[in-house]
Amino acid sequence: MISTTDLTRELLYQIRLGEDSAYEFKSLVIANARVEQPHRDSVADELAAFANASGGNLVLGVHDKTRKVEGIAAEWRLAQVLEDDDAVRKWMKPAPGQFRIEWSAGRNYEPDFVVEADDRMLLIEPKRADEVDDAQVQAKARAAVRWCGYANEQSERIGAKRWHYLLVPHDAVVLGSTVAGLQAEHERR
């Protein structure tokens, strides 16, 4: 029996390769608890084509042109990236009040993810792409970068790992990516 991990890796590999005669990708859009896309006629056409051939795989939730996984929350995808990345030792989603960074007078910010990697510590905030430039999001990002600076002063004194802050647009969180890759693209300094 094939393991879930092997199946996931095989699917991610196929997504990177793109569609072929055995794989068809369809974006998945759900609104008001209803599937808006793909239309049932489109799905029926693909299934009929597979039935008339030697079978195939219809993969919902993957854009056929960009090959990006869609319709799955960025936080869930980031959790999968963290689980799959061999450089990640451990990670957590802080409980309310567990990890506070003051970003405005008396107002605290808690990052979505705290990650320990082999050689660094990270605060990672996945955010909808259209919200990344929001003034409040940017104020929280500046506070998190400032917090990392204070933490790094202490880390240098005791020889601990350095802290980094990542503000990652939701559409950049793709299954199969790595923390190092996300950091290279989305670290705030």
User: What CATH number is attached to the domain comprising 122?
Assistant: 3.40.1350.10
Q: Are residues 162 and 84 in the same domain?
A: yes
Torsion of CA 145, 146, 148, 150, to 10 degrees: 170
**Residue 82, token pair as written in the block:** 């963290």
Q: Are residues 52 and 81 in the same domain?
A: no
Q: Is the pTM of this model over 0.95?
A: no
Confidence band for 187, pLDDT divided at 50, 70 and 90: very high
Confidence band for 32, pLDDT divided at 50, 70 and 90: low
What pLDDT sits at residue 98? 86
Query: Which residue range is the domain that position 52 belongs to?
Result: 4-60
Instruction: Write the CB contacts of 174 (distance below 8 Å, at least 6 apart in sequence).
Output: 68, 69, 77, 81
Domain count, the chain: 2
What pLDDT sits at residue 1? 62
Q: Are residues 39 and 111 in the same domain?
A: no
The per-residue pLDDT for range 16-31, each reduced to its tens digit, is: 888 888 899 888 776 6
The per-residue pLDDT for range 109-153, each reduced to its tens digit, is: 999 999 999 999 999 999 988 899 999 999 999 999 999 999 999
Domain-embedded: residue 66: no
Give the three-class secondary structure for 12. Answer: helix
Q: Are residues 30 and 87 in the same domain?
A: no
Q: Are residues 91 and 146 in the same domain?
A: yes
Distances (CA, A) of 61 to 53, 90, 158: 23, 28, 46
Domain-embedded: residue 67: no
With a cut of 60, say whether residue 4 has pLDDT above it.
no
Domain-embedded: residue 161: yes
Domain-embedded: residue 69: no
